[in-house]
Amino acid sequence: MKIVRSNPDLYAVVDGWLRDGKRIALVPTMGNLHAGHHSLVALARERADAVVASVFVNPTQFGPNEDFSRYPRTPEADAEGLAASGCDLLYLPAVEALYPYGAEQGVRVSVPAVTDTLEGAIRPGHFDGVATVVAKLFNLVRPHVAVFGQKDYQQLLVIRRLVRDMGYPIEIVAAPIVREASGLAMSSRNQYLDDGQRVRAGAIRETLEWMAGRLRTSPEAWADIEARAAARLRDAGLVPDYAVVRRAEDLADPQVGRDHELVVLVAARLGSTRLIDNLRVEV
């Protein structure tokens, strides 16, 4: 696997691949890679001739009181893991490569509507940061296909709208959530949890399963299911930011009898760690 840090070095490799008619896949990441990320690379490998992974802790998607400075950075281990999972090129830029005018002064890309709710409402500016950096990565890498994890469900919808609205000729592939044995969705933030918190975090997956089961038999009771799900999380010692039932397509409230593709989403805090998870449900 080749590692490049500068944009000219990235262009040189990608230009060569494009001249050879290769199909290119991109897996954007913030590093500190785990089995979930490696599954994204494996999916990319199946769908392309050449796989690029980016590792970049993107400052513009973190709020002022969030964990940007303490976000785990493990570039050596990331490079080893990526090489082992079949990545061809690791793009490891410094902030200046992606934000030549500085993180505050650069062009911003903003995706409206779908970002008004849930993570977008709780983390103002977060999705502008995500859309901005992903647009830059698309422009630099010029992939035919890009793979994103379904754990960040709202992010996936934001990326799909970005691609359609900006006319990027890029296929977006959603990779299934990879879970630890306890059911906890894999996340770089799981390492902030102590042993007791890790056990309690299992309540998130249990609550999502409970919500899905109740919805299948009583979809009309979705608002009551939300309230009871939040109570279940609180009983398990978590502080829920939300436990909601939404239409899968655009995160609008479900219309009973009309919407059949739903998603249940939870965000909850355990101490200073914030975890998110979701489950698709057909009713």
Angle at 94 between CA 90 and CA 100, to 5 degrees: 125
Residue 38 annotated in active site: no
Give how many residues touch ligand PAF by CB under 6 A.
10
Cα–Cα distance for residue pair 6/4, rounded to 1 Å = 6
- Indicate whether 29 belongs to the interface with ligand PAF (CB under 6 A): yes
Residue ranges of E strands in the chain? 2-4, 24-29, 50-55, 89-91, 145-149, 171-175, 239-247, 261-270, 273-282
Residue with smaller CB distance to ligand PAF, 125 or 237? 125
**Among residues 78, 88, 152, 259, which is the contact residue for ligand PAF, using CB under 6 A?**
152
Catalytic residue among 37, 38, 126, 260: 37
**Among residues 4, 13, 28, 85, which is the contact residue for ligand PAF, using CB under 6 A?**
28
- Indicate whether 60 belongs to the interface with ligand PAF (CB under 6 A): no
Residue with smaller CB distance to ligand PAF, 159 or 263? 159
**Among residues 4, 114, 133, 243, which is the contact residue for ligand PAF, using CB under 6 A?**
133
* DSSP per residue, 147-216: EEETTSHHHHHHHHHHHHHHT---EEEEEPPPB-TTSPBP-GGGGG--HHHHHHHHHHHHHHHHHHHHHH
- Indicate whether 58 belongs to the interface with ligand PAF (CB under 6 A): yes
Cα–Cα distance for residue pair 97/8, rounded to 1 Å = 10
- Indicate whether 154 belongs to the interface with ligand PAF (CB under 6 A): no
Catalytic residues: 37
- Tell me which residues touch ligand PAF (CB under 6 A): 28-30, 58, 61, 130, 133-134, 152, 155
